[in-house]
Structure 1
Amino acid sequence: MDDDIDELARMIQSAKRAVVFTGAGISTECGIPDFRSPGGFWTRYKPIEFSAYLASEETRLEAWRRYFMIYDTVSHAVPGRGHKVIAKLYHEGKVSHVITQNIDDLHRVSGVPEEAIIELHGNGSYAKCLSCGERYELAWARATIESEKRPPYCVSCAGIVKTATISFGQAMPDQEMADARAATFNADLFLALGSSLQVFPAANFPVMAKSNRARLVIINREPTGLDALADLVVQGELGDVLAATAERLWP
C-alpha cells in the first residue's frame, strides 16, 4: 500500500482541478454507519418511498420517528481524518469541489465552504417545505410533532415539511446534478472516496470524469464495480489512507 499512497500523493500534487466524490465510507470512522450495508438501517426497515410520504400523515409521522431515531444517534458526530484532509486540500487550491452522497453536513463542518459542496442526496441537518422551500430547524419540527401530534406543515404556505434529504423515489435535485456535472467535466483528477459506486445516478460521475480524460482514483474498503476504469485503486480504511497521504503531502 505504501507505493499506492506515494502514487496518490504524486497525483494530487500534480492536479490543478481535483474533484472529490464521497460516500458513506468517509463518515464511518465518525460513528455514522453505512445504512445500506448488511445489517444496516435499510436492511432492517423497508425504506419509505417519497410517494407514500406525500400520501399519508401517518406515514410522515413514521418517517419523522425513524429520522429522529437516526439523528439522535449520529448528530454529535464530528469530522474525521478524511474530512480534514479534504478540507486542507480545498484551502490549498488542489480541490475545486466536493460532491457528496452523504447527508451528514460534515464536509461543511470540517471547513469546506458551502459553495464548494454539492450535496446530491440533500442535507439532514435541517428541514424544508416541499412547496415553497422555506427552511426549518429540526428542533422546530420535533416540537411541532410532539405538541400537535401530527407531522409539521409550513407556517407560510401550509405545505408539507420534510427533512432536506432526497428520499427513495424522490427526484434528484436538478441544480445539484447540473453543478456536479460541470465540476466533473472540469476536473483533471477525480477522487472517489468511500463509495461502493452502486447508487445511481450519483455513481455516473466517476465514469463521466474518466470519459473526459481526468485521472480516476478509487479508495474504498471493498472492491467497486468501477475499479477497472480507475488509474489507481486503493483498498483500505479511508481515514488511514488519507492520513498517510497527508503525511506525504505535508511532511
Structure 2
Amino acid sequence: MKNIVVLTGAGASADSGISTFRDADGLWEGHDVMEVASPLGFARNPELVLDFYNQRRRQLLEVQPNKGHYALVELEKHHKVSIITQNVDDLHERAGSSNVLHLHGELLKVRSTKNASLVLNWTNDLHIGDTDDDGHQLRPHIVWFGEEVPLLPKAAQITQSADILIIIGTSMQVYPAAGLVNYAPYNSSIHFIDPRPSIGENDFRDLSIIAERAAIGVPMLVSDILNKNV
C-alpha cells in the first residue's frame, strides 16, 4: 500500500462547474481580489464581501463532484490517500474522500470575527447581523490574502510522507501552497495533471505530466496506479 498525497487546486473542481474565480485579468467575478478576499476589503465593505461568498455558496450547493473526485475515492480503496486542497468547496468529501485538509478554509463554514477557533457549519446566506453567541459578527471561514495559513505546517508534514505526489488543477504559482511540492521526499514520484501545465518534466525529478483536465486526467492516472504501471 502506497502513501499517496494529492494537492488539488481550482482545476480539480472546474469540471463540476465551479468557477475558478480569478479571470485572466486577475479579477474575481469582476472584483479586484483585495475587495472580496482580504481583511481590509471586509473592513471597508462587509456587505460586498458577504454577498460575494453568498453567491459562491449558492453555486456550490447546485453542483456535484466530477469523475476526478470519484477517481480519488477509488484510489483510496487501495492506498492511503491524503488530499490537501486549495479549494474551499466540499466536493472531495461529497464524492467520498475521507482524509481532506482544506488549506484555504471552507465555503460551507463560517467563523467568529472575534474568535477564529469558533467555526460553524453554514449553508445559508450570511448577512450583517449574523453573530456568534457573544454578539460578534460572523465571517466566511476562508483564509484571505494577507492572513496566515494555519494548516500549512500540517500540510507540509503530510507531504513529507508521500510515496507518490499527485498535483491536480493548480498553476503551481500561488504561494505558500505551491511550495508544498518541495516537501515531497526525494525518491517520491510526482504526477501533474492540468490541461495547461505550468511546469515541465525537467523541473522536478521523476515528474510525469498529464495535460488533461481533471475529469479525464485523474481517472487515467488512477487506473495506471491501480494497474501498477506507476
TM-score, structure 2 as length reference: 0.85
Secondary structure in 2 aligned to 1:179?
Answer: helix
1:108 equivalent in alignment to 2:93: yes
**2:43 is matched by which residue type in structure 1?**
A
- Note the C-alpha offset of 1:243: 2.5
Q: Do 1:19 and 1:190's aligned partners in 2 also have CA atoms closer than 8 Å?
A: yes
Give 1:134 shift.
2.4
In structure 2, do the counterparts of structure 1 residues 205 and 164 end up closer, same or farther at CA, with 3 Å as the change threshold?
same
**Unaligned regions of 5+ residues in structure 2, if any?**
none
**Corresponding residue for 2:14?**
28
State the partner residue of 1:160. Answer: 137
State the identity as a percent: 24
Contact 2:65 2:94 in 1 (8 A): yes
Q: CA 1:109 to 1:120, structure 2 compared with 1: closer, same or farther past 3 Å? A: same
Rounded Cα–Cα distance in structure 2 between residues aligned with 1:135 and 1:43? 26
CA–CA separation in structure 1 for the residues paired with 2:176 and 2:148: 11
Does residue 229 of structure 1 match 2:229?
Answer: no
The residue identity in structure 2 corresponding to 1:100 is T
- Cα displacement string for residues 143-178 of structure 1 (whole angstroms, at most 9, x for unaligned residues): xx3xxxx343322x33331111111222111xx212
Distance in 2 of aligned mates of 1:98 and 1:54? 29
Deviations 1:191-241 (A, max 9, x none): 01111111100000112215x432111111112146521521111122112
* Structure with a larger share of its residues in helix: 1
What residue in structure 1 maps to residue 43 of structure 2? 55
Alignment partner of 2:84: what SS? strand
Partner residue of 1:81? 67
Contact 2:191 2:208 in 1 (8 A): yes
Contact 2:192 2:208 in 1 (8 A): yes
| AA at the equivalent of 1:55 | A
Instruction: Please state how far the C-alpha of 1:36 moved relative to its aligned partner.
Output: 1.9
Say yes or no: does 1:202 pair with 2:177: yes
Taking the aligned partners of 1:183 and 1:226, their CA distance within structure 2 comes to: 24
Q: Where does the alignment leave 5 or more consecutive residues of structure 1 unmatched? A: 1-14
**Distance in 2 between residues matched to 1:23 and 1:128, nearest whole Å:** 23
Cα deviation, residue 138, structure 1: 3.4
Please give the root-mean-square deviation of Cα atoms over the aligned residues, in Å.
Answer: 2.3
How many pairs align? Answer: 221
- Equivalent residue letter for 1:52: L
**Per-residue deviation, 1:25:** 0.7
- Measure how far apart 1:94 and its partner are: 4.0
**Hey, what's the Cα distance between the residues in 2 that align with 1:72 and 1:41?**
20
